[in-house]
Amino acid sequence: MLKQYTEYKIICLDALTYAGNMETLSDVLDNPQFMFVKGDIADQVIVFSLFEQEKPDIVVNFAAESHVDRSIDNPRIFLETNIIGTQVLMDACRKYGIKRFHQVSTDEVYGDLPLDRPDLFFTEDTPLHTSSPYSASKASADLLVLAYYRTFKLPVTISRCSNNYGPYQFPEKLIPLMITRALADQPLPVYGNGENVRDWLYVEDHCSAIDLIIHKGREGEVYNIGGHNEKTNLEVVKTILRVLNKPESLITYVKDRPGHDLRYAIDPSKIHNELGWLPATKFDEGIKKTIEWYLDNKPWWEHIVNGEYRDYYDKMYSIK
Ligand code: TYD
């Protein structure tokens, strides 16, 4: 956004919990168009005083607890950040006035699709049908956003994107987890039989879609984002091993995730037809760029893997 809109001032409000990392912002911290504020979106005092001071005109809520396995381990924080945090942000928008509040949601609010019906896709009209405490918290927030549109006429939009991958992704998610572990010749924990399907989108394509929606999307509308790029988890892991020239014997099948969604697949026709959005990065190219980024930015993820994250990893997987 800073590259694209040199006249914009971007304020980043982030609580810097386990997945937040100032090193991620090192390239922009000195940019006069950028401001960082450490704070929790659920903290009304911080949020309201920031709005009072800065009077933002567009608010994009990217802040979320987003890891399904963590939500199974401890649901509470998901409700606090994802639901209450959204309410606090929207109340600040109501009080101080806003041109647009955009909620970054997820395709997980639709639940999952069967593996034997490749003809089925999530559309914006697919009923909400959540599986995990994480997706239930995101669906709750989506309902609240639509309620604020109807009741308070808050100018909102919602996007529901498929799985993202790319630089700076915290190494608890499938792709960076497998890249960083393969580089260390550690076992790669694949849940169940590895046949679950995810619809992968390069992170910059998600960003370009949000950019379009906040500037040109219709108020009160939901837009699905996805690039028709379905892969089984095993296909993804094998691709990573191939690019890194590591043996498939690193693959280790572990106990399945409880309630594990079988397949996600987005129908992106609405955002394509209305806003002309199309993804720019093919998976083969995106995965290579991502792997190169992790190879070139070892200190970024090594600091994470060596820290608190290590204890969490041991607890969740009980393998070394
Ligand atoms: P994840 O990156 O957690 O995203 P989500 O659950 O939101 O789709 O997981 C992507 C897929 O990879 C999902 O089917 C679970 C699977 N998975 C594994 O097999 N092993 C792992 O260690 C992780 C983190 C995920």
Using one digit for the tens of pLDDT, what is the confidence trace for 141-155? 999 999 999 999 999
Residue 296: the pLDDT is 98
Cβ of 189 closer than 6 Å to ligand 1, yes or no, is yes
Q: Which residue has the higher pLDDT, 305 or 134?
A: 134
| Cα(68) to centroid(ligand 1), Å | 8
**For a pLDDT cut of 90, what percent of the chain falls above it?**
91
pLDDT-derived band of residue 185, with 50, 70 and 90 as boundaries?
A: very high
CA 197 – CA 129 distance, rounded (Å): 18
Q: Which option is the CATH number for 10-317: 3.40.50.300, 3.30.930.10, 3.40.50.720, 3.40.30.10?
A: 3.40.50.720
Amino acid, single-letter form, for residue 4 = Q
pLDDT at 311 over 90: no
* pLDDT tens digits along 37-91: 999 999 999 999 999 999 999 999 999 999 999 999 999 999 999 999 999 999 9
Cβ of 317 closer than 6 Å to ligand 1, yes or no, is no
| Cα(174) to centroid(ligand 1), Å | 5
What's the average model confidence in pLDDT over 157-168? 98
The closest residue, in CA terms, to atom 20 on ligand 1 is 190
Active site residues: 107-108, 134
Mean pLDDT across the chain: 95
Strand runs (DSSP E) across the chain, as ranges? 10-14, 34-38, 58-61, 100-106, 156-161, 164-165, 188-191, 197-199, 201-202, 221-225, 230-232, 251-254
Ligand 1 site-directed mutation target among 174, 193, 229, most atoms within 8 Å of CB: 174
Comparing C-alpha atoms, which of 70, 76, 12, 75 is closest to residue 41? 12
Cβ of 173 closer than 6 Å to ligand 1, yes or no, is yes
Ligand 1 site-directed mutation target among 132, 137, 191, most atoms within 8 Å of CB: 191
Per this entry, what is the length of the chain?
A: 320
Q: State the DSSP code for 57.
A: S
Residue 58: the pLDDT is 98
Amino acid, single-letter form, for residue 257 = R
Residue 320: the pLDDT is 42
Residue 262: the pLDDT is 97
Q: Which residue has the higher pLDDT, 22 or 218?
A: 218
What's the average model confidence in pLDDT over 156-181? 97
The closest residue, in CA terms, to atom 9 on ligand 1 is 174
The pair of structure tokens assigned to 224 is: 């699905």
The closest residue, in CA terms, to atom 22 on ligand 1 is 189
Domain ranges (residues) in the chain:
10-317
The closest residue, in CA terms, to atom 25 on ligand 1 is 174
pLDDT-derived band of residue 318, with 50, 70 and 90 as boundaries?
A: low
CA 47 – CA 28 distance, rounded (Å): 22
pLDDT at 204 over 60: yes
Return the residue matching tokens 């309630």: 259
Residue 314: the pLDDT is 67
The pair of structure tokens assigned to 208 is: 């370009």
CA 17 – CA 202 distance, rounded (Å): 24
Phi and psi, residue 175, nearest 5°: -65, -55
The closest residue, in CA terms, to atom 6 on ligand 1 is 68
Residue 158: the pLDDT is 99
CA 89 – CA 258 distance, rounded (Å): 32
What's the average model confidence in pLDDT over 267-274? 98
Amino acid, single-letter form, for residue 262 = L
Ligand 1 site-directed mutation target among 173, 180, 203, 317, most atoms within 8 Å of CB: 173
Phi and psi, residue 24, nearest 5°: -65, -30
| Cα(70) to centroid(ligand 1), Å | 12
- 3-state class (DSSP) for residue 123: coil
The closest residue, in CA terms, to atom 10 on ligand 1 is 174
End-to-end CA gap in the chain: 40
Cβ of 162 closer than 6 Å to ligand 1, yes or no, is no
**Helices (H) and strands (E) in the chain — how many of each?**
12, 12
Residue 305: the pLDDT is 84
Q: What is the pTM of this model?
A: 0.95
Residue 21: the pLDDT is 84
* pLDDT tens digits along 98-145: 999 999 999 999 999 999 999 999 999 999 999 999 999 999 999 999
Cβ of 231 closer than 6 Å to ligand 1, yes or no, is no
